[in-house]
């Protein structure tokens, strides 16, 4: 016990004698009597003077005593930051105190083990290890309801002094991460303790006490990353300063949308003496520039890609050109702007005349390809029954004589060849089947080309995917026993053939040949048969699909005289579904950025719920132009994915999964 002024630290009464207790009680009674005497004198004086005493006198320290603190100082001081992790907690008292009572009531949060020593009136707490870096500790001491050491706090200096980007910050797609430590570190152990989620591989570089991590590839766009340093890291002195992992989060720039050369034919002729401009369009939000690559092609490679990537392709069907076997001749970055439409891309001036594939690549969008023919020359074609006429000239004018002309069919098979005359004209006969597809001209090492399908027409180019109108003298109705097949199965076919005399139908002559072909997904002829109809004007046949055959959309094709008609069928390595999935929203009409609840119901075909099935939802929006309203099935805009957060989960015991999300649409999806 120590005494300071009028107030005392009262130790526990445990194990004290009865005499001591009596002394304490007498002292308290004397103190109360003295206070009552002072108050009575004050009241008497107030009565004598006829007015009360001032409040400042009535509330003197003797009236409401406040005991002084037992603590003179602490180290670290209350509220101190960046305390070294090797420090001790030191509490210095004003005088002698009960060591046992102080130690018994000492509480440090978070809990940590350590040893307590005393130097006269000073308590010293030393942790067995070190304080946890970056942690705020609180300390106090109580003896029952009596507060012996008031609550204080201090923060230990973090082992990581700073990060770039900061916690929750945004990073560029090519930027490096920098982690700066507060003390020298064992570099090998830090690199081994470093990880990211999602995982990214990269290289490490040190600058003083800062670790710089550079990814080998660009960061994924619109992605949240977590960087973790495990407790296995060590300081330069060989210590393990942390007992729990250190982590911080950041995200990459959000990018989403479409980049393409637009709808229509993916081929363009470029005059090297002109602007060398090729247009592309951008829809969405992008920060990084485009990567533009130019690949060279031979004539044979050009024919292969042209024949396989044009025939039967609709205006919005994704069918990409393969460039894996083509030599790269140029590559450059092209800055882009959000919602940038009809923008020119200029070919470099040193690109020589030839055949090329130009690609647009962006890590946050699907790639697109364009066949580019850089040439000074052009071909004008005219097709008549069994003949093709070609006129060769310079783009800027002037007939070209002695140009080698070759005519190819849809399978890149040579049908005819020759040279232009003095007027630049070449006329040749071609068979009705196979039909000619493209004409290539070569002169003085320069190549040009022109096609016979609608994509090469000057008029109505936006309807290029539709076949040219032609008078049909016959009609063939093609049926298969099913719409989809597996490799190795048999395709059973029935054909009803009719002669069309101005919409008056009759059976075709029995002696007429009916050629039935099966074409694969690349439009190659798999098998061809020449058959005849029976007395009812029908025929039956079948085709065997090879094991391991090409997957995709196949076509059955009939040719009667000059009339060719087709029917699509699918060849897929599919498995019969074992359950069905139904999707139901809480309402049919939703305002943009308004929450909507969706329930997914998964059941087997005999009605049992499919529990614990993983569900992933992807939201789409469809772009419309005003004049397309009401015709969305035929002329509707493209389907675009929209950002709605992570919509994944698992079905419950009843086979249901319900989630609420807020769809957000780009304003550009709606034209005024």
Per-residue model confidence as pLDDT tens digits over 363-404: 888 888 999 999 999 999 887 767 889 999 999 999 999 999
Domain covering 160-252 assigned CATH 2.60.40.1760 in the classification = no
Asked if the domains 71-156 and 160-252 are classified in one and the same CATH topology, the answer is yes
Per-residue model confidence as pLDDT tens digits over 284-303: 888 888 899 999 999 999 98
Arch. (CATH architecture) of 377-463: Sandwich (2.60)
Lowest mean pLDDT across 31-35, 142-146, 569-573: 31-35
Q: For 101-140, b where at least 16 C-beta lie within 10 A, e where not — what string? A: bbeebbebeeebeeeeeeeebebbbebeebbbbbbebebb
Backbone CA torsion sign across 320, 321, 322, 323: negative
**Is there a contact between 409 and 391 (Cβ–Cβ < 8 Å)?**
no
Q: What are the structure tokens assigned to 550, written together?
A: 């090409």
Domain boundaries, the chain: 3-58, 71-156, 160-252, 256-374, 377-463, 474-571, 579-669
**Is there a contact between 173 and 363 (Cβ–Cβ < 8 Å)?**
yes
Per-residue model confidence as pLDDT tens digits over 118-128: 999 999 999 99
Backbone CA torsion sign across 556, 388, 266, 620: negative
580 pLDDT more than 60: yes
Separation between Cα atoms, residue 334 and residue 289, nearest integer Å: 5
Strand ranges inside 520-625, DSSP E: 525-531, 538-544, 552-560, 563-571, 579-585, 596-604, 614-616, 620-622
Which pLDDT does position 268 carry in this prediction?
87
The residue-averaged pLDDT of 478-487 equals 93
Any residues with CB less than 8 A from the CB of 85 and at least 6 apart, and which? 130, 131, 132, 133, 156, 157, 159, 241
Q: What is the CA radius of gyration of the chain?
A: 43
Region of 574 (left: φ > 0; alpha: ψ -120 to 50; beta: rest) is beta
Degrees to nearest 5, angle at CA 389 with 387 and 391 = 170
Q: What are the structure tokens assigned to 264, written together?
A: 């229509």
The pLDDT confidence band at residue 140, using thresholds 50, 70 and 90, is very high
Degrees to nearest 5, angle at CA 622 with 618 and 650 = 15
Q: What are the structure tokens assigned to 15, written together?
A: 């194990």
267 pLDDT more than 60: yes
Per-residue model confidence as pLDDT tens digits over 360-370: 998 888 888 99
Separation between Cα atoms, residue 614 and residue 609, nearest integer Å: 13
Specify the 3-state DSSP secondary structure of 278.
strand
Higher pLDDT, residue 18 or 52: 18
Specify the 3-state DSSP secondary structure of 307.
helix
599 pLDDT more than 80: yes
Separation between Cα atoms, residue 10 and residue 241, nearest integer Å: 41
Burial (CB count within 10 angstroms: exposed 0-12, middle 13-18, buried 19+), residue 313: middle
Which pLDDT does position 468 carry in this prediction?
47
12 pLDDT more than 80: no
**Is there a contact between 370 and 358 (Cβ–Cβ < 8 Å)?**
yes
The pLDDT confidence band at residue 612, using thresholds 50, 70 and 90, is very high
Per-residue model confidence as pLDDT tens digits over 423-472: 999 999 887 666 667 899 999 999 999 886 655 555 444 444 444 455 67
Domain covering 256-374 assigned CATH 3.30.70 in the classification = no
Which pLDDT does position 59 carry in this prediction?
39
Which residue, chain included where needed, has tokens 């008031």? 150
In CATH terms, the fold of domain 474-571 is Immunoglobulin-like (2.60.40)
* Residues paired with residue 550 on neighbouring β-strands, in sequence order: none
Any residues with CB less than 8 A from the CB of 592 and at least 6 apart, and which? 663, 664, 665
The residue-averaged pLDDT of 399-416 equals 89
Which pLDDT does position 273 carry in this prediction?
93
Order across the sheet with 267-270: list the strands: 267-270, 365-374, 354-362, 290-297, 328-334
Higher pLDDT, residue 232 or 143: 232
Separation between Cα atoms, residue 482 and residue 469, nearest integer Å: 30
Separation between Cα atoms, residue 459 and residue 452, nearest integer Å: 14
Identify which of 148, 90, 152, 141 has the alpha carbon closest to the alpha carbon of residue 119: 90
Question: Helices marked H in 145-225 — which ranges?
Answer: 187-193
Q: Compute how many other C-beta atoms are within 10 angstroms of the C-beta atom of residue 250.
A: 22
**pTM tops 0.85:** no
CATH class of residue range 71-156: mainly beta
Separation between Cα atoms, residue 281 and residue 262, nearest integer Å: 6
Separation between Cα atoms, residue 261 and residue 318, nearest integer Å: 12
Which pLDDT does position 411 carry in this prediction?
75
Lowest mean pLDDT across 38-42, 143-147, 568-572, 620-624: 38-42
Order across the sheet with 446-451: list the strands: 414-419, 404-409, 436-443, 446-451
Backbone CA torsion sign across 396, 398, 402, 404: positive
Burial (CB count within 10 angstroms: exposed 0-12, middle 13-18, buried 19+), residue 297: buried
Which pLDDT does position 457 carry in this prediction?
56
């Amino acid at each position: 016990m120590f005494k300071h002024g009028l107030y005392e630290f009262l130790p526990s009464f445990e194990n004290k004698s009865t005499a001591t207790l009596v002394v304490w009680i007498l002292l308290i009674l004397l103190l109360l009597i003295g206070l009552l005497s002072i108050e009575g004198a004050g009241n008497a004086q107030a009565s004598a003077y006829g007015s009360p005493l001032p409040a400042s006198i009535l509330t003197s320290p003797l009236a409401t005593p406040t005991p002084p603190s037992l603590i003179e100082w602490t180290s670290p001081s209350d509220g101190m930051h960046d305390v070294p992790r090797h420090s001790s907690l030191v509490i210095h008292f004003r005088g002698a105190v009960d060591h046992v009572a102080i130690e018994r009531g000492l509480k440090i949060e978070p809990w940590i083990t350590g040893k307590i020593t005393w130097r006269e009136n000073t308590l010293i707490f030393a942790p067995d290890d070190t304080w946890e870096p970056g942690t705020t500790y609180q300390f106090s001491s109580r003896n029952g309801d009596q507060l012996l050491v008031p609550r204080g706090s201090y923060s230990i200096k973090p082992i990581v002094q700073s990060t770039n980007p900061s916690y929750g910050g945004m990073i560029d797609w090519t930027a490096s991460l920098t982690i700066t430590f507060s003390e020298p570190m064992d570099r090998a152990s830090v690199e081994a303790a470093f990880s990211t989620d999602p995982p990214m591989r990269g290289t490490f570089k040190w600058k003083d006490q800062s670790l710089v991590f550079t990814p080998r590839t660009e960061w994924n766009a619109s992605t949240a990353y977590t960087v973790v340093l495990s407790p296995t890291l060590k300081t330069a002195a060989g210590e393990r300063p942390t007992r729990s992992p250190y982590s911080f989060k950041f995200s990459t720039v959000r990018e989403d949308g479409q980049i393409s050369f637009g709808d229509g034919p993916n081929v363009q002729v470029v005059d090297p003496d002109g602007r060398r401009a090729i247009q592309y369009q951008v829809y969405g939000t992008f920060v990084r520039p485009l990567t533009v690559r130019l690949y060279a092609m031979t004539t044979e490679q050009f024919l292969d890609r042209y024949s396989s990537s044009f025939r039967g392709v609709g205006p919005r069907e994704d069918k990409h050109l393969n460039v894996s076997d083509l030599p790269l001749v140029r590559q450059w970055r092209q800055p882009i702007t959000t919602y940038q439409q009809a923008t020119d891309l200029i070919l470099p001036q040193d690109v020589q005349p030839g055949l090329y594939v130009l690609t647009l690549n962006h890590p946050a969008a699907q790639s697109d390809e364009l066949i580019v023919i850089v040439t000074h020359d052009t071909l004008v074609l005219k097709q008549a029954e069994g003949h093709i006429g070609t006129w060769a000239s310079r783009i800027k004018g002037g007939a070209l004589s002695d140009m080698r002309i070759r005519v190819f069919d849809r399978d890149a098979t040579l049908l005819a060849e020759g040279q232009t005359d003095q007027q630049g004209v070449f006329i040749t006969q071609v068979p009705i089947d196979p039909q000619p597809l493209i004409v290539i001209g070569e002169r003085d090492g320069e190549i040009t080309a022109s096609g016979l399908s609608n994509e090469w027409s000057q008029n109505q180019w936006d309807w290029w995917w539709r076949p040219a109108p032609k008078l049909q003298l016959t009609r063939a109705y093609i049926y298969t026993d099913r719409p989809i097949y597996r490799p190795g199965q048999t395709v059973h076919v029935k054909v009803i053939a009719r002669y069309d005399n101005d919409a008056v139908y009759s059976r075709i002559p029995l002696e007429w040949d009916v050629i039935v072909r099966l074409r694969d997904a690349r439009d190659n002829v798999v098998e061809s048969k020449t058959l005849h109809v029976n007395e009812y004007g029908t025929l039956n046949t079948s085709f065997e699909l090879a094991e391991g055959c090409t997957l995709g959309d196949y076509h059955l094709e009939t040719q009667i005289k000059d009339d060719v008609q087709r029917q699509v069928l699918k060849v897929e390595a599919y498995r019969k579904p074992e359950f069905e999935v139904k999707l139901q929203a809480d309402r049919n009409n939703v305002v943009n950025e308004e929450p909507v609840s969706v329930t997914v119901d998964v059941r087997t075909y005999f009605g049992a719920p499919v529990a614990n099935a993983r569900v992933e939802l992807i939201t789409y929006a469809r772009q419309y132009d005003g004049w397309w309203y009401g015709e969305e099935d035929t002329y509707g805009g493209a389907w675009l994915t929209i950002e709605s957060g992570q919509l994944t989960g698992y079905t419950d015991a009843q086979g249901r999964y319900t989630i609420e999300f807020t769809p957000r649409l780009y304003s550009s999806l709606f034209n005024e």
